[in-house]
């Protein structure tokens, strides 16, 4: 029974590592396809819906892979790690809702002249109609908290924690740029080089660093498990 449980945990870590690495690839691809703004003119572009669907799949992989990321360091991360994990998973679930909304409902609303004003910046139906309101900002605290817990635990690569910590002030700066310089951001060909895209890249890089560690540890463990045990000399 013990060997079966051991094999199961090893497989879980391996699959979670692959999920977190693939999530980074989808995040970059989705941000490349994402138009530069959320204005109606960009929502009507053919890449808007597919970009959000790809980003949705990336976040789905994060939701699937992050529990193993946390489990690997849970004993050393303590209560801070648990709080950060819960907040991060809640934020991930919220992103799943937002991205699915923007991949499906938003383009449909943009196609009708009577509803276009609802989805533009500041519109009543923009970004899922702001379901969580101010609480959505509170979920951002999960980024640095989970990152600090990872640094304190010192189990996974430290970059996996630092990328999450740095993403928080980067997000604040990105919001300020978005508010102060919207016309400048509109000049970029896609979201991949904009502050919002780079912020999410940092987060996903952190998850990917942890995912690579999980995958590598599983491979080393598997190699060790398959190595023949030397018999004592008689």
What per-residue confidence (pLDDT) applies to 219? Answer: 67
* Residue 14 or residue 231, greater confidence: 14
pTM for the predicted model, two decimal places: 0.84
Q: Where residue 133 falls among pLDDT bands split at 50, 70, 90?
A: low
Tell me whether residue 66 is exposed, middle or buried, using C-beta atoms within 10 angstroms of its C-beta: 0 to 12, 13 to 18, 19 or more: buried
Provide the 10 A C-beta neighbour count for residue 106: 24
Tokens matching residue 190: 């896609």
HEC assignment per residue over 37-64: CCCHHHHCCCCHHHHHHHHHHHHHHHHH
C-alpha 191, offset from chain centre: 16
Out of 65-69, 77-81, 121-125, 223-227, which region has the weakest mean confidence (pLDDT)? 223-227
- Cβ contacts of 27 within 8 Å, gap of 6 or more: 55, 58, 200, 201, 204
How far is 100 from 151, CA to CA, in rounded Å?
32
What per-residue confidence (pLDDT) applies to 42? Answer: 86
Q: Is the pLDDT reported for residue 209 higher than 90?
A: yes
Residue with tokens 């703004």: 37
Tokens matching residue 143: 């980024």
Q: What is the pLDDT of residues 136-183, one digit of tens each?
A: 777 888 889 999 999 999 999 999 999 999 998 888 887 777 667 666
**Residue 16 near residue 211, CB atoms below 8 Å:** yes
**Residue 61 near residue 26, CB atoms below 8 Å:** yes
- Cβ contacts of 1 within 8 Å, gap of 6 or more: none
Q: What is the pLDDT of residues 19-72, one digit of tens each?
A: 999 999 999 999 999 888 788 888 899 999 999 999 999 999 999 999 999 999
């Amino acid at each position: 029974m013990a060997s079966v449980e051991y094999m199961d945990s090893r497989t879980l870590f391996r699959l979670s590592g692959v999920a977190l690495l693939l999530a980074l690839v989808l995040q970059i691809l989705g941000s490349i396809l994402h138009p530069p703004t959320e204005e109606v003119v960009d929502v009507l572009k053919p890449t808007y819906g597919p970009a959000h669907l790809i980003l949705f799949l990336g976040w789905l992989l994060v939701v699937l892979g992050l529990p193993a990321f946390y489990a690997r360091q849970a004993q050393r991360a303590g209560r801070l790690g648990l709080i950060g994990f819960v907040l991060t998973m809640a934020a991930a679930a919220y992103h799943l809702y937002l991205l699915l909304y923007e991949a499906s409902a938003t383009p449909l609303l943009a196609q009708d002249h009577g509803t276009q004003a609802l989805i533009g910046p500041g519109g009543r139906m923009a970004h899922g109609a702001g379901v969580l309101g101010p609480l959505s900002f509170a979920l951002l605290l999960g980024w640095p908290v989970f990152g600090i817990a990872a640094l304190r635990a010192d189990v996974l690569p430290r970059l996996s924690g630092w990328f999450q910590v740095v993403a928080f002030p980067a997000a604040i700066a990105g919001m300020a740029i978005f508010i102060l310089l919207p016309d400048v951001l509109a000049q970029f060909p896609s979201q991949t080089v904009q502050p919002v895209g780079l912020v999410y890249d940092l987060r996903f890089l952190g998850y990917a660093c942890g995912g690579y560690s999980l995958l590598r540890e599983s491979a080393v463990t598997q190699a060790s498990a398959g190595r023949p045990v030397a018999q004592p000399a008689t």
